[in-house]
Amino acid sequence: MRSCTPSIGLTFIAAAAALLSGCAMAPAATMPVAGASHLDTVQKAAVLRICTPGDYKPFSFQKPDGAFEGIDVDLMTGFSASLGAKPEWVKTTWANLLPDLAAGKCDIAVGGVSVTTDRQKRAFFSAPYMVNGKTPIARCADVAKYQSVAAIDKPSVRVIFNPGGSNERFARANFKQAKLTLHGENVTIFDEILANRADVFVTEAAEAITQQKLKPGLCAINPDKPLQYGEMAWMLPRDDVAFKSYVDQWLHLQQASGDFQRTMDRWLK
């Protein structure tokens, strides 16, 4: 039986990092000129507009005072500075994250974004910075019950999921017999399990590990052996090769210098 100890899952997350070797639209002055690269327009405007749902610890989370914190928030602070720009956060939802990026409301989309071919059709991805597969989280007393998709997919099991992203797609694609419940608030979805109004939530390993530390009584189930392979990356405007090349090079140098791992350790240890 898988224990709740987070250190094994964190080893998985840390090893995976080695893969690398305001709500309103911003003012028109910061909008990219048709045909120009965001690499140039961001530097000229001295502002990097960043779309994020802000509800996904440890990547991007909006605090009650409106400020954002998390892995991607720290990384975006450094990335913006490398362009001589200040970060400008554009609050969105998971359902609107890709449409907002495609509509030009932001220059980059972050916050724990899973790489998918559906998203790739409409956007570029940066080089992946983490392997972070789908992992169940449940009450610790029930860990032995939910060791596989087949074990979860039973009529008696209440699976909860948040809308608009890869968690919803995974739940609908894999659980045909379990009782599915759509919960619109990602921040409170874990409380539904603790309150025994749901049994299982399948999300990324990093979030499951983070939430088991924040919510005593919940345990990530086999975060080092996820139910489905997954990668995390930043979403970028499609066809902007110059901007993607710069983003990938910046990420590579951050890892090579050790700064990337220090950021990860600050949030995952």
| Mean pLDDT within 213-229 | 94
Residue 18, helix vs strand vs coil: helix
Q: Is residue 148 over pLDDT 90?
A: yes
What type of residue is 128? P
| Mean pLDDT within 231-257 | 97
Residue whose C-alpha is closest to residue 235's, from 227, 223, 226, 244? 244
Question: What is the C-alpha to C-alpha distance for residues 61 and 250, in angstroms, rounded to an integer?
Answer: 23
Q: Is residue 45 over pLDDT 60?
A: yes
pLDDT computed for residue 89 by the predictor: 98
pLDDT computed for residue 34 by the predictor: 57
Q: Is residue 83 over pLDDT 70?
A: yes
pLDDT band per the 50, 70, 90 thresholds, residue 28? very low
Q: Where are the domains of the chain?
A: 8-131+230-268, 134-220
54: left (phi over 0), alpha (psi -120 to 50) or beta: left
Residue 32, helix vs strand vs coil: coil
pLDDT computed for residue 12 by the predictor: 41
* Common-topology check for domains 8-131+230-268 and 134-220: yes
For residues 157 and 26, the model is more confident at: 157
Sign (positive or negative) of CA dihedral 245, 82, 27, 68: positive
Q: Is residue 19 over pLDDT 70?
A: no
For residues 178 and 10, the model is more confident at: 178
pLDDT computed for residue 20 by the predictor: 41
pLDDT computed for residue 7 by the predictor: 40
The CATH code of domain 134-220 reads 3.40.190.10
Estimate to the nearest angstrom the gap between the alpha carbon of 244 and the chain centroid. Answer: 19
- Scan for tokens 């739940």, then name that residue: 171
The CA-based angle 246-249-253, given to 5 degrees, is 140
Whether the CB-CB separation of 12 and 222 falls below 8 Å is answered with no
pLDDT computed for residue 184 by the predictor: 87
pLDDT band per the 50, 70, 90 thresholds, residue 25? very low
pLDDT computed for residue 50 by the predictor: 98
CATH topology of domain 8-131+230-268: D-Maltodextrin-Binding Protein; domain 2 (3.40.190)
